Amino acid sequence: MASKETNSGNALMFNNEQMADVHFLVGPPGDTQRVPAHKYVLAVGSSVFGAMFYGDLAEGQSEIHIPDVEPAAFLILLKYMYSDEIELEADTVLATSTLLRNFCEIDLPTLEIILQRESLNIQEVQIFQAVLSWAAAECQRRGLPVSPRNQRAVLGKALYLVRIPSMTLQEFADSVAQSDILMLKEAHDVFLWFTASSKPILEFPLVKRARLAPQRCHRFQSSPYRSNQWCYRGRCDSIQFAVDRRIFMAGLGLYRSSGGKAEYSVKIELKRQGTVVAQNLTKFLSDGSSSTFPVGFEHPVQVEQDTFYTVSAVLDGNELSYFGQEGMTEVQYGKVTFQFQCSSDSTNGTGVQGGQIPELVFYC
């Protein structure tokens, strides 16, 4: 790790073309951001980027392509390289988590900063597995055999930032309990905390992470009770939308059956320029209420500003459902403005003025 004095001077060079001798081309082809960097900073700084890019730099390349990383997330960790400062804000932590698959290379203070975040939008058991992987890598860096005892030693108090009690009992049994990283009494107490009426005191945080709260953009002004007759039978309902700032699409809100209880199968997709960037295939039960039912993508997906995306839902079910009316071409929701237009993918009647897909579920 470079000294504080060195990184203080390097911070002035962050994202600065002056004396830059390498450039990262970040993002998918046709939509890349060119980011200037300096080989000497990458060489003397933390091991995060050394591990990621040393081979490319050693071969003398002046441009390094990074197609699968969102530029804002890349800049966060690049700034960490230059200044030892990491900024995981609510609107960037989801994208940054992709880049943090280099997670095993960060130092212990940075690990602790990340584990203290409320807005980590992944399951706690996944956080625990990532922490174990980091501890194994740290053992190797210190020349120690990788063992539960040594992993616990290198983690220190960081282990107690994992919110083990917020897992399910099954997750604890299948993951934490079998890792042997907890002391016998700790494992015993956590088990009692899950199962006993009189719960022991634990050193681990008990409350689930707040995460980012999902938001819902409603695009219809009405859905008259019992007057809606919308059928599916495997046809596609689709709409296009664009936003004026970056968001993360989490899923769609769909209408339920208007005739009582019913089961639907549904496939939802998110496309950009005809390419599928997110999807999910699932089933859900409708209770006959007029409220919407959220169906999520497998993972939240970044949506760039000022670019039209297409969302679609292919439902299959025997019962008619509610549908929306008085659709709006523009909706202001919080800090985000949504614009809607009809999609040529829609073969079941959904458009801007009416139909299915009443809500877009997103993070911002």
Put simply, whether the predicted model's pTM sits higher than 0.85 gets the answer: no
The distance from CA 137 to its chain's CA centroid, rounded to whole angstroms, is: 24
**Would you say 283 and 263 are in contact if contact means Cβ atoms under 8 Å apart?**
yes
Residue with tokens 């091991």: 47
Mean pLDDT is highest, among 122-136, 150-164, 209-223, 293-307, for 150-164
In this predicted structure, which of 56-70, 128-142, 199-213, 228-242 has the lowest mean pLDDT? 56-70
Category of 228 on φ-ψ map: left (φ > 0), alpha (ψ -120 to 50) or beta:
beta
> pLDDT class for 186, splitting at 50, 70, 90?
very high
Q: For the residues of 117-145, what is the DSSP string, one character each?
A: -S---S-HHHHHHHHHHHHHHHHHHTT--
Whole-angstrom Cα distance, residue 364 to residue 237?
A: 25
pLDDT at residue 49, as a whole number: 46
Packed helices 47-58 and 71-83: angle between N→C axes, nearest 10 degrees? 100
Calculate the average pLDDT of the chain: 82
pLDDT band at 41 (very low <50, low <70, confident <90, very high): low
Q: What percent of the chain has pLDDT over 90?
A: 43
Residue with more model confidence, 243 or 214: 243
Task: For the chain, count helices (H), then strands (E).
Answer: 11, 15
